Amino acid sequence: MHGTRNVLRTANDVDTVERVVPTSSVAAMIGDAVDILSVPGRILKEESWNTTSSLTREPYSFSKTPAEKEAWRSRTRRTAGASSPSTRAS
């Protein structure tokens, strides 16, 4: 999360940076394939956040969730929230 915050803050401070679009990961939305079974209709939405991962269970997924939440919190005119290449807009 600190790395995401630092990149976005720096991008906003540098005039030559026109736009930053953080790349998300489905890991920020679900911890593993079993987790999708508890999602209503098995459809992930912007409100879907990984709540089952921890430092000992799926630590990569655990780290992606707070980083993406920070990207959304830190949005400015030069920074978007996050784009997830593993999902599609409906």
34-79 pLDDT, tens digit each? 888 888 888 887 788 888 899 999 898 888 888 888 777 776 666 6
**Tokens 């999602």, located at residue:** 39
In three-state form (DSSP H/G/I as H, E/B as E, the rest C), the secondary structure along 32-79 is: CHHHHHHCHHHCCCCCCCCCCCCCCCCHHHHHHHHHHHHHHHCCCCCE
Indicate whether 30 belongs to any domain: yes
Domain that holds residue 9: 2-73
Q: Please report whether residue 82 resides in a domain.
A: no
**pTM (2 decimals)?**
0.63
Q: Residue 19: inside a domain, yes or no?
A: yes
Residues forming beta bridges with residue 79, ordered by sequence position: 20
Asked whether residue 86 is domain-assigned, the answer is no
Contact 8, 81 (CB under 8 A): no
Quote the number of domains for the chain.
1
Residue 90 belongs to a domain = no
